Each structure stands twice: as structure tokens, then as C-alpha cells.
């Protein structure tokens, strides 16, 4: 298990590249901390969103639809 200790865009781009089996440039990704889990990061690439776990695993996130409230 590879543990990620810092958010280096180059390293995160390499991990994402291995996950999606496509070339990923560090300047093409947007990385932000995941406040729900220490050492976890959100990754934005193209129109997709991913989550990087502290263990170095990447998963695609799923869009969540918020329930709409009736208008009065």
C-alpha cells in the first residue's frame, strides 16, 4: 500500500494516469483537500471528479442530486 503524505500535483497526476489509462498532465488537474478525511483529496480532471484516499487509491465520484424544494 502506497500512502500519500503530500499533495504534489505531479504525483497525483501520475496516480490518476494509472487509474484512467490516459496521459494526465499536472497542469490539467485541479486538486483540493477533502475535509471529510485527513490525507484525502478531490481531483478534478476534464469533466470528471475523483477522490484520492490516504492509501493512494483513486475512485470516480458520482454526482448527487439534491432534492428540490417546492416553490411557494
Q: How many domains does the chain have?
A: 1
Task: Give residue 23's pLDDT.
Answer: 97
Where residue 35 falls (left for φ over 0; alpha for ψ -120 to 50; beta otherwise) is alpha
Task: Answer whether residue 70 is part of any domain.
Answer: no
- Cα(66)–Cα(10) distance, integer angstroms: 34
DSSP bridge pairs for 50: 43, 60
Give the pLDDT confidence of 10-25 residue by residue, as tens digits.
999 999 999 999 999 9
Please list, in sequence order, all residues whose beta carbon lies within 8 angstroms of the beta carbon of residue 10, skipping any fewer than 6 positions away: 26
Domain containing 43 equals 9-60
Q: What was the pLDDT predicted at 69? A: 61
Q: What is the pLDDT of residues 15-64, one digit of tens each?
A: 999 999 999 999 999 999 999 898 899 999 999 999 999 888 999 987 55
Residue 65 domain-assigned? Answer: no
- For residue 4, being part of any structural domain is answered with no
Tell me whether residue 51 is in a domain.
yes
Euclidean distance between CA atoms 50 and 43, whole angstroms: 5
Residue 67 domain-assigned? no
Instruction: Tell me: pLDDT of 67 over 70.
Output: no
Flag whether 69 is in a domain.
no
2, part of any domain: no
Q: Is 39 within a domain?
A: yes
Q: What is the pLDDT of residue 39?
A: 87
Amino acid at each position: 500500500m502506497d500512502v500519500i503524505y503530500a499533495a504534489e500535483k505531479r504525483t497525483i497526476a501520475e496516480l490518476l494516469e494509472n487509474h484512467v489509462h490516459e496521459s494526465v498532465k499536472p497542469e490539467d488537474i485541479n486538486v483540493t483537500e477533502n475535509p471529510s478525511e485527513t490525507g484525502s483529496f478531490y481531483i478534478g480532471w476534464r469533466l470528471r471528479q475523483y477522490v484520492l484516499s490516504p492509501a493512494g487509491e483513486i475512485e470516480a465520484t458520482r454526482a448527487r442530486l439534491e432534492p428540490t424544494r417546492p416553490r411557494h
